[in-house]
Amino acid sequence: EDPLATRTVYYIEGDGIGPEVWKAGRPVLNKAVEMAYNGANTLDWQELLAGEKGFAETGEHLPKATMEALAGADLAMKGPLNTPVGKGFRSLNVTLRQVFDLYACIRPIKYFKGIESPVKRPDLVDMVVFRENTEDVYAGIEYQSGSPEAKKLIEFLVDELGANLDPTASVGIKPITPAGSKRLVKKAIDFAIAEGRPSVTLVHKGNIMKTTEGGFRAWGYELAEQEYAGKVVREGEDGSGVIIKDRIADAMFQNVLMYPEQYSVIATTNLNGDYISDALAAQVGGLGLAPGVNMGDKLAFFEPTHGTAPTIAGKDMANPGSLVLSGAMMLEHIGWHEAAALIHASVEKTLAAKKVTVDLAAQINGSTRVGCQEFGELLLANL
Ligand code: NAD
């Protein structure tokens, strides 16, 4: 996208540590934009109520006005939201993803110097995970053991389809569609081509779940062949372009730890993606430095990967880094690469100075601990 002078960004503050990471992090985003464009570009932040703040002010966790604004938006950011306790409540995050069809969860995993990583060669870690966000066992179609619904379903599966199934089982459904798989893989391949990335790896468990996970693999390759002829090449075949390969999920978990240099863009189903994104984030500093976006065809909703961290909320202990890096991702998404680059350089410089929040203090030798607000001020000063 071409730079525009002002971009409106809707934002949800979030629960728990949400308010404090915004307070520490947003000035960093504003300042980076100001510095990169000498004040010509600005972010116009428009708050939308949600979560506990939404409930307190409107009686709803996802107020109508918020949903209406998001329906017309292309850019938004959010802090973490608690799932309200009580019967009948779905996760607010899952609701937002489903209502706005944010089918791709994208998380970059990049190493910053100085972090004590549990892997031997963390400097080789530079991956972007594209996780399908709307299908798989997350569809929420589950029936409790012994319930009339489960009994009825099992009866049908046993009597009509000849399935071998214990009548006392809890049963869940794992829907994976050709269209759902293809649109996710398409986003991953488009990204790889645009960013000059060497490969896209389809991660699946198709050796066991042949029609669902195996389907994801097959439809991914099908899409690559049909829509990207000449731009991609299947591993082991002649030709040039982005290499498309696939790996079975369990082997992939081993490989990303042992041979991170072999993987760049990862495209995978919902549950695999959930596990692999957190495991990879642990190689490079954990949740405090893990940004992400949930993206559909219109709305891109940037958010830190972490939750509301209730045990440290309100104590000035949280790391605002994940929020700041999510903001940097957003700036890249709208083409403001110079501002994003300033932020990445500042994070690197700040970590090198070894004054960090508690989560990172444990991972950086010889570091001293600072609070959330002070860490934000250091990021600001180091821009
Ligand atoms: P969590 O991410 O809140 O916390 C996991 C651990 O990481 C805790 O030890 C926490 O203190 C630490 N941590 C998290 N973020 C940190 C940060 N920025 N700086 C320093 N330490 C940090 O996960 P959880 O405890 O499983 O979930 C708590 C609540 O958050 C739940 O209600 C859950 O539903 C919600 N949640 C929301 C989102 C979201 O909004 N996207 C994501 C995950 C969890």
Nearest CA owner, ligand 1 atom 44:
307
- Of 277, 287, 303, 369, which is best to mutate to test ligand 1, by the most ligand atoms within 8 angstroms of its C-beta? 287
Q: What is the mean pLDDT of residues 186-192?
A: 97
Cα of 308 vs centre of ligand 1, distance in Å, is 4
Give distance in angstroms: CA of 132 to centre of ligand 1: 21
Taking CA atoms only, the protein residue closest to ligand 1 atom 36 is 307
What average pLDDT does the segment 207-232 reach?
A: 97
Closest CA to 205 of 182, 176, 170, 162: 176
- pLDDT band per the 50, 70, 90 thresholds, residue 243: very high
Q: Token digits for 260?
A: 């991170």
Cα Rg for the chain, rounded, in angstroms? 22
pLDDT tens figures, 271-322: 999 999 989 998 888 888 999 999 999 999 999 999 999 999 999 999 999 9
The per-residue pLDDT of the chain, averaged, comes to 94
Given the residues 11, 74, 205, 359, the one annotated as active site? 205
Report the nearest-CA residue for atom 39 of ligand 1.
80
For helices 213-227 and 178-195, the axis angle rounded to 10 degrees is 50
Ligand 1: nearest atom to the Cα of 306: 2
Residue pair 170/143 in contact (Cβ under 8 Å)? The answer is yes
Q: What is the pLDDT of residues 52-96, one digit of tens each?
A: 999 999 999 999 999 999 999 999 999 999 987 765 667 898 889
Is the pTM value of this prediction over 0.90? yes
Residue of 10, 103, 111, 138 marked catalytic: 138
Question: What is the ipTM for the molecules in this complex?
Answer: 0.98
CA-CA-CA-CA torsion sign (216, 219, 221, 223)? negative
CA-wise closest residue to 70 among 5, 6, 4, 11: 11
pLDDT in tens, 326-354: 999 999 999 999 999 999 999 999 999 99
Distance between Cα 258 and ligand 1 center (Å): 28
φ/ψ of 44, rounded to 5, equals -105, 100
Is 294 near ligand 1, meaning CB less than 6 Å away? no
Q: Which of 115, 305, 308 best tests ligand 1's pocket when mutated (most atoms within 8 Å of CB)?
A: 308
Q: Which atom of ligand 1 lies at the shortest distance from residue 372's CA? A: 19
Per-residue pLDDT, averaged over 230-238, amounts to: 95
pLDDT score of 83? 83
Q: Residue 1 above 60 pLDDT?
A: no
Distance 299 CA to ligand 1 centre (A): 24
Give me the pLDDT at residue 263, please.
97
Residue % of the chain over a pLDDT of 70: 98
CB neighbours of 318 closer than 8 A, spacing ≥ 6?
17, 20, 21, 288, 309, 312, 357, 372
Pure H helices in 37-177: 51-58, 64-71, 92-99, 148-155
Looking up tokens 């307070």 gives: 23
pLDDT in tens, 20-38: 999 999 999 999 999 999 9
Whether the Cβ atoms of residue 313 and residue 17 lie closer than 8 Å to each other: yes
Active-site residue, 10 included: no
Query: CB of 318 closer than 6 A to ligand 1?
Result: yes
**Per-residue confidence (pLDDT) for residue 88, from 0 to 100:** 63
Say yes or no: CB of residue 74 within 6 Å of ligand 1. no
End-to-end CA distance of the chain: 24
Distance of CA 88 to the CA centre of its chain: 26
DSSP code for 122: G
Determine the pLDDT at residue 87. Answer: 58
pLDDT value of position 125 = 92
Our answer to whether residue 250 is catalytic in this structure is yes
Catalytic, 44? Answer: no
Active site residue 136: no
How far away, in angstroms, is 332 Cα from ligand 1 center?
25
Instruction: With a cut of 90, say whether residue 3 has pLDDT above it.
Output: no
